[in-house]
Amino acid sequence: MKRVWGSVCVVLCLVLVTAACGTSGSAGEAIVIKAGIGLNEDHPQGQALNRFKEIVEEKSGGRIQVRPYFSAQLGDDLKMTEALQAGVQEVTIPSTSPLVGIVPEFGIFDLPFVFDEEEEADAVLDGALGQKILDKLPEHGLVGLTYWENGYRNLTNSRRPVKRAEDFRGLKIRTMQTDVHLDAFKALGSNPTPMPFSEVFTALESGTVDGQENPLATIVSNKFYEVQDYLSLTKHVYTPFVFLVSKSFWDRLSPEDQQLIREAAIEAGKYERELNRKVNAESLEELKKQGIKINEVSPEERERMKQIIQPVIEKYRKKLGEDLVSQLFEEVEKARNR
Ligand code: TF8
């Protein structure tokens, strides 16, 4: 009898301990997602992060809570990604560019002048190639759910309007931390300086660099027009955002909750792309009002810039893999002819 009671006690204790520790999926206990981004809440990405929060909290009946952090409060893109790997933050949505140190294949999206239309980028990112690269994330402690849009990048600087390829010469330009951009800006004769986004405003203000390049929505949201005189519509590269989740967190979720979060990321992403395109179009008016001098770049000059950068594309065709780069151009071609 004693022995039976002993076993019952052991079993009871085990039940109690398990209940107390719980897993993040156990009933009654809210799952909390700390989600940080580098941009401000008023940027389309910030608004879409709020949308993600709404969807997740509504669909889970409040069982899953999202705590958004904006303006690099939790650190820059790379730092937050590392926090995901370490399991101390659950979600971040960085540009793919600063992640090339983790997954070099993301470098294909840094190749300039690849996508003529946003819809081509959508097709490639949401298609086989986009997925192929997301599949490389889990071995690095990350899960990539979908791509959002940062968008076409345009150059601002404090020295002169950039209309022709030669106008890049001698400009000190802050770039993202990715080799492809370093090489491309060097090929154009400028002096690229890589640095995290959170340091850009100060670097422009103090004159450490003459210029930077980002989509119009960011130039407005981060008030770069206050410290820059010229905006040149170079549209030289399209940058995606990638929706990342910490793998150690992800693995603790039930398949149902994984599905819920994945669908919310995709739905909020559709909203983000739409809003971003609308805001980018409106930003031009806003920037004119702010008094920054804006110039177009003619298709002929863009073509010349593309030619100058061609050797960089060839270099990275080898470095990133012939197959991968060929697949990129094939998928773009397919999207173009649709
Ligand atoms: C850059 C990027 C950034 C974004 C954002 C901070 O210039 O375009 O704006 O990655 O997450 O660093």
* Ligand 1 atom nearest residue 241's Cα: 10
Q: What is the pLDDT of residue 294?
A: 98
CA of 20 to the centre of ligand 1 (A): 41
Q: Which of 95, 195, 200, 244, when mutated, tests ligand 1's pocket best, judged by the most ligand atoms within 8 Å of its CB? A: 95
Q: With contact defined as beta carbons under 8 Å apart, do 157 and 228 qualify?
A: yes
Query: Using one digit for the tens of pLDDT, what is the confidence trace for 86-120?
Result: 999 999 999 999 999 999 999 999 999 999 999 99
Q: What is the CATH number of domain 29-336?
A: 3.40.190.170
CA of 246 to the centre of ligand 1 (A): 20
CA of 96 to the centre of ligand 1 (A): 9
Residue 238: beta bridge partners? 152
Q: Where are the alpha helices (DSSP H) in the chain?
A: 2-21, 44-59, 77-85, 118-125, 128-134, 179-187, 200-206, 216-221, 247-250, 255-290, 299-320, 322-336
CA of 197 to the centre of ligand 1 (A): 5
Residue nearest to atom 9 of ligand 1 (CA): 197
User: What ipTM was predicted for this assembly?
Assistant: 0.98
Residue 240: beta bridge partners? 149
Residue by residue, pLDDT tens for the chain (338 residues) are: 445 555 544 444 444 444 444 444 455 689 999 999 999 999 999 999 999 999 999 999 999 999 999 999 999 999 999 999 999 999 999 999 999 999 999 999 999 999 999 999 999 999 999 999 999 999 999 999 999 999 999 999 999 999 999 999 999 999 999 999 999 999 999 999 999 999 999 999 999 999 999 999 999 999 999 999 999 999 999 999 999 999 999 999 999 999 999 999 999 999 999 999 999 999 999 999 999 999 999 999 999 999 999 999 999 999 999 999 999 999 999 999 98
Q: With contact defined as beta carbons under 8 Å apart, do 216 and 287 qualify?
A: yes
CA of 176 to the centre of ligand 1 (A): 8
Residue nearest to atom 12 of ligand 1 (CA): 197
Rounded CA-CA distance 168/316 in Å is: 22
Q: What is the pLDDT of residue 13?
A: 42
CA of 41 to the centre of ligand 1 (A): 14
Query: Per DSSP, which regions of 85-182 are E strands?
Result: 91-92, 142-157, 172-175
**For residue 73, what are the contacts with CB-CB under 8 A and spacing of at least 6?**
36
For residue 241, which of 64, 44, 50 has the smallest C-alpha distance? 44
Residues with CB under 6 Å of ligand 1 are 37-39, 77, 94-95, 150, 176, 197, 214, 218, 239
* Ligand 1 atom nearest residue 72's Cα: 6
